Chain A
Amino acid sequence: MNSLWAVTLATLKKDIRLEWRSKDALNSMLFFSLLVVVIFSFSFDPNAEESRQIAGGLVWVAFLFAAVVALNQTWARELRNQVLDAYRVSPAPATALFLAKALGNFIFVALLEAVMTPLFIVFYNLRALGPAWQLIPVGILGTWALVVNGTFFAALSLRTRSREIMLPLLLFPISIPAIQAMVEATRIVLAGDGSARFWIVLLLTYDVVFTTACLGFFETVLQAE
């Protein structure tokens, strides 16, 4: 258990340091989601009540698209200089590597959300009519739902032709229930109609099921040669 956390932390630190020096993923994600926000607000131009109804969908679609940008770079970096092969032969547990990558992506996407949410609020004049604190568990669980499967499918599509297009093709169908839960929960909180509890529980279930599945199958995928 100790070695699992040690390896996870070491890999995570390495990834954060790399990202801090290059800022490749963060910059491209930020700019990409900014573009999505601007294009969406041109295309819809809603009034206050309408934006409460659609903002949940817009926010999460923007984050989903932006997250794919970061997720695609997760493993591509390790292909250079055969780093991934080194991981394969090293005695470090594969789950630690996966956890580190997923946590790293979670931090990057959460940072993106922290920067972009105020922008959304400004552009769409949003004010929550329901209990706004509920957006925090929705945000955390929703981001993890996108990132955990995204990291896994990025590893899965690593050796395919044109892997950059492959990742969304694999990730989006599987993510449909999670996206629906995030969007509905956000809409309910913003519009203040009813309780978002069902959707939060659904997100939690989704996270538990797929985190377990990812951890269970990652070794199989990593060693699939």
Chain B
Amino acid sequence: MKRLFTLFSILTAILLVYGLYQALVAAPTERTMGDVQRIFYYHVPSAWTAFCLFLTNLVASIVYLVTKRMKADALAVASAEVGVVFCTIVLVTGPIWARPVWGIWWTWDVRLTTTLVLWLIYVSYLVLRRFSDTAQTPILAAVLAIFGALDVPLVYFSIWFFRTQHPQPVMGRGGSLDPRMLHAFLINLLAFSCFGAMVCWSRYRLEILHREVEEAHAMESLAGGDVAAKPSLPLNRGGAQ
């Protein structure tokens, strides 16, 4: 497991470096927007990664509610935290690009607003996790994640009713995109997906270890120090009791 993680990290690092080269050097400068368009190679992959992580969180939450497995809950925590980080990158890089191109920092357009509300929902998810440290927290957080997922389509439709200003996706319209740009974009999409997965993975391992240590401490104090430091103890934290 550890070797696989190291290999994966090295692969991610190579991809990120190659992606950086592709985005900043190899890809041609956009004709009308200029160099600021290059932020696109980071903005869209970050958004993609954030949405994948939020989806992971939803699936892990449902799995946790059904099976009450501690590992599913650890994955839910990890993916929510890392997802919020990537979503923050999206919300920061967007205005940096929009200011010179649209002339405004922010607009209440459907994709921007949906992303912002998604970010708010997941921040409230993390706040719930932080403020509640009892054994039922995983269940409450999983329920909140499902409520958040139900909310997203409603947010989307409510904003969609207004005119939308976001640039339509340029992929698939054909012809207008330089193949080197597409190449740089796809490399960065892959690199960011791997990067997100790697950070989420290490956060997940950290969470599992953290819980094992806590469990060991609890067992130690219960047994008066006899079974100290036994990380492979059966874990039933957060299960149905």
For A, the interface residue count at a CB cutoff of 8 angstroms equals 30
Within 8 Å of chain A (Cβ to Cβ): is B150? Answer: yes
Q: How far is the CB of A54 from chain B (nearest CB, A)?
A: 16
Which residues of B are found within 8 Å of A221, using beta-carbon distances? 139-140, 143
Q: Mark A173-197, 1 if CB is under 8 A from B, else 0.
A: 1101110110000000000000000
Are the C-beta atoms of A213 and B150 separated by less than 8 Å? yes
Which residues of B are found within 8 Å of A205, using beta-carbon distances? 154
The segment from B3-11, B155-163, B193-201 that touches chain A is B155-163
Check A217/B121 contact, CB under 8 A, given A166-B127, A177-B155, A225-B241: no
Contact of A170 among B124, B133, B159 (CB under 8 A): B124
Main secondary structure of the interface of B (DSSP, over half): helix
Are the C-beta atoms of B143 and A156 separated by less than 8 Å? yes
Q: How far is the CA of A20 from the CA of B121 in the complex (A)?
A: 36
Q: How far is the CB of A188 from chain B (nearest CB, A)?
A: 12
CB-contacts of B85-144 with A (<8 A): 117, 120-121, 123-124, 127-128, 131-136, 139-140, 143-144
Within 8 Å of chain B (Cβ to Cβ): is A209? Answer: yes
Q: How far is the CB of B61 from chain A (nearest CB, A)?
A: 11
Are the C-beta atoms of A213 and B146 separated by less than 8 Å? yes
The residue on B at minimum CB distance from A175 is B151
Are the C-beta atoms of A220 and B120 separated by less than 8 Å? no
Within 8 Å of chain A (Cβ to Cβ): is B65? Answer: yes
The residue on B at minimum CB distance from A214 is B147
Interface size grouping (class) on chain B? 20 to 34
Which residues of A are found within 8 Å of B231, using beta-carbon distances? none
Within 8 Å of chain A (Cβ to Cβ): is B28? Answer: no
Contact of B136 among A149, A159, A161 (CB under 8 A): A159
Which residues of B are found within 8 Å of A177, using beta-carbon distances? 117, 151, 154-155, 157-158
Q: How far is the CA of A139 from the CA of B158 in the complex (A)?
A: 18
Are the C-beta atoms of B131 and A210 separated by less than 8 Å? no
Residues of B whose CB lies within 8 Å of any CB of A are 65, 117, 120-121, 123-124, 127-128, 131-136, 139-140, 143-144, 146-148, 150-151, 154-155, 157-159, 161, 241
Residues of A whose CB lies within 8 Å of any CB of B are 149, 156-157, 159-162, 166, 169-170, 172-174, 176-178, 180-181, 198, 202, 205-206, 209-210, 213, 217, 220-221, 224-225
Q: What are 9 inter-chain pairs, A to B, with CB distance below 8 A?
A: A159-B136, A169-B128, A170-B127, A173-B120, A176-B155, A202-B154, A210-B150, A220-B143, A224-B140
7 closest cross-chain pairs (CB), A and B: A224-B136, A160-B132, A173-B120, A177-B154, A224-B139, A177-B158, A160-B131
